[in-house]
Amino acid sequence: MARKDRAAGGTPATDALVAAGVPFTALEYTHHDDATDYGAEVVRETGRDAEQVFKTLVVSTGRRDLAVGVVPVAGMLDLKAMAAALGVKKVEMAAPAVAERSSGYVVGGVSPVGQRTPLPTVIDDTAQLFDTIVVSGGKRGLQIELSPDDLADVTGASFAPIGR
């Protein structure tokens, strides 16, 4: 897989992958400003399987604690399973402004890689069914394809059944 550097339209996510020596492929597509279902747009514009394209969701685990769940765009995050994977009582979706402030990315472009504030991260275990998965590259219109194990290594993530 090729690497993409910041000079060629990179982001903190691609910079972090390059710095870590993680191989990835950058997948650019045309983002339409009227699109609100970002995952469906990625599937439509890239032609990738919805089971192999993963969305990055920021959750709140308490008053100030946040975490990241990475699940297929074809499904949803199971909040109870996410809480169990993190060892907390419950989680809820973080407000978009909170997710943006913490990650440094805009909603629809939140990447699990290169976040402003590194957070505990859990990847749905279905990712391990694929040689590579696709996640946000840190901006709308950019996805990155990499191995699930490399994603886990670079983010310090664990795998658990958090999708439904």
Q: How far apart are CA 60 and CA 1, in angstroms?
A: 34
Can you tell me the distance from the alpha carbon of 24 to that of 18, in angstroms, rounded to the nearest whole number? 9
Q: Output the pLDDT for position 36.
A: 66
Q: Report domain extents, the chain.
A: 6-157
Cα distances (angstroms) measured from residue 15 to each of 19, 37, 63, 140, 162: 6, 26, 31, 16, 28
Element (H, E) at 98: helix 96-103
What integer pLDDT is reported at residue 2 of this predicted model? 43
**pLDDT at 151 (0 to 100):** 96
How far separated are the first and last CA of the chain, in Å rounded?
30
CATH number 3.90.960.10 given to 6-157: yes
The predicted pLDDT at position 1 comes to: 43
Cα–Cα distance measured from residue 143 to residue 14, given in angstroms and rounded to the nearest whole number: 10
The pLDDT score that the predictor gives to residue 9 is: 56
Which single residue is written with the structure tokens 């990650």? Answer: 103
Each residue's pLDDT tens digit in the chain (164 positions)? 444 443 345 899 999 999 999 999 888 877 767 666 777 777 777 888 889 999 999 999 987 799 999 999 989 999 999 999 999 999 999 999 999 999 988 888 899 999 998 999 999 999 999 999 999 988 888 889 999 999 999 999 999 999 99
pTM value?
0.88
